[in-house]
Amino acid sequence: MSSREVVVLSVGGVRFVTRASTLQQFPESRLARMVNDDDREFKLVNGEFFVDRDGALFSYILDFLRTLQVSLPADFSDYQRLQREAEFYGLYPLADLLSQEHLLKPRLEILEVRSSLQEMQAFFRIFGSCSATIEALAEQITVFTGQQTGQGWNSPFPSQKALVPLPLERPSHHDMVFLCGTEYSAGDQFMARYVSIKPDNRKLINGTNVLGLLLDSLLKDGFRLISTRTVASEEKVECYTFERMKRAAGLAIMVNQTPGSTGVTQARRSQVQKGK
């Protein structure tokens, strides 16, 4: 790689090394003009461009130029300062995204699990403030049904007959309902429902075991248990409330060269889903 392809910047005393093409992502920006020696405010000292700006914030500027995405830590709060830095460098598409602070901030997500453990059956209802999380859980949880002969719900052995996947009940985009256990059918026949929660491959029929695996899965997924309470004592309905900080969707700039644009870069905004 030739020396012309590598650019060294000293921003507020913090040294950065990158490609010239990275700084030229937006040809009309001051950084692109700096590389082309068209901006005299950026002084070349001992082979390094000296920039009298905030070095810590420039790391986010450079990350944006490398990825064309706004990716900020969950505890980031200097949106206005970073927006001013983007405006200084002439990166107006980035400044525009940063002005929409509400789209970039992480949001508190609440999830509630209600369970009723009966003698032979268990009932579960999961409600979440984020429909995407409920959709993801619905893909993890599978209920299998099949007939058994003379077996109760505490039997550790699944039915030898083929088990059939049963769709989860979805009263709305924000909740789901499912059952496990056995119920009397006819003669000595019982209808059994098993629950499987990925990545665990077991098919569980006991409600206590299903509840334990479900709560453990939520804790591993970043949720924090904040309260437990009894909703209906007669029906033995227990409620477990969880919360977590959900990362916002990352915002990306798509850079396109259009015919007849004489090399002027155009930008459009799109959302890129990050994480759960």
The Cβ-side half-sphere exposure at 249, using a 13 Å CA radius, reads 12
- Specify the pLDDT at position 108: 85
- For the whole prediction, is pTM greater than 0.95? no
Low-confidence ranges of the chain (pLDDT < 70): 1-4, 103, 148-161, 184-188, 233, 247-276
- Specify the pLDDT at position 221: 92
For residues 227, 232, 238, 239, the Cα torsion angle rounded to the nearest 10 degrees is -40
Report yes or no: 67 and 58 within 8 Å, Cβ to Cβ. no
- Specify the pLDDT at position 248: 58
- Specify the pLDDT at position 188: 64
CA distance 154 to 255: 60
Residue 230's DSSP bridge partners are 238
Nearest to 241 by CA among 109, 113, 122: 113
CA distance 195 to 145: 9
Domains in the chain (CATH in brackets) are: 6-105 (3.30.710.10), 110-150+159-244 (no CATH)
Task: Calculate the alpha carbon distances from 159 to 163, 197, 270 in Å.
Answer: 8, 19, 49
**DSSP-H helix ranges across 36-104:** 55-67, 79-88, 92-99, 101-104
Residue 126 is which amino acid? I
